[in-house]
């Protein structure tokens, strides 16, 4: 009788198919397609965990820039003055303040340019 290691194979297939649950078409049912799909999904999620940081920083900068533009100021000049005056408010907080409380954002800008 030939040994096929079917217990380990079954466990491995089950593990892969469990990860592929909810995928469309055969990728959730067929082992070979599921394995390819989860490999690709893993690559995408690894890459995008890093890309997410980039994307959010870009969004914050855009929001701050839009708030400053309404006041006739430039983003690069504003950030330079922030560092020179050692005002430590990160971009995330500045963007949030600018979006929610325009009056407080205006006060921060005045303080930086004073």
Q: Which domain holds residue 30?
A: 6-113
Total domains in the fold of the chain: 1
Q: How high is the pLDDT of residue 88?
A: 87
Q: How many residues does the chain have?
A: 114
pLDDT, averaged in runs of 10, over the chain (114 residues) = 91 97 96 97 97 97 95 95 91 95 94 92
pTM comes to 0.78
The two three-digit tokens of residue 32, written as one number = 């070979």
107 belongs to a structural domain: yes
- Residue whose entry in the numeric block shows the structure tokens 């799909």: 37
Q: How high is the pLDDT of residue 14?
A: 97
Q: How high is the pLDDT of residue 69?
A: 94
109 belongs to a structural domain: yes
58 belongs to a structural domain: yes
Q: What is the CATH number of the domain that holds 109?
A: 1.10.1900.20
């Amino acid at each position: 009788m030939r040994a096929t290691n079917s217990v380990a194979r079954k466990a491995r297939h089950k593990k892969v198919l469990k990860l592929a649950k909810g995928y469309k078409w055969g990728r959730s049912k067929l082992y070979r397609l599921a394995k390819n799909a989860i490999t690709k999904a893993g690559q995408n999620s690894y890459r995008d965990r890093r890309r997410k940081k980039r994307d959010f920083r870009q969004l914050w900068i855009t929001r701050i820039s839009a708030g400053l533009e309404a006041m006739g100021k430039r983003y690069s000049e504003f950030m330079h003055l922030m560092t020179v005056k050692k005002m430590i408010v990160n971009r995330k907080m500045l963007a949030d303040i600018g979006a929610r409380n325009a009056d407080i954002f205006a006060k921060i800008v005045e303080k930086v340019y004073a």
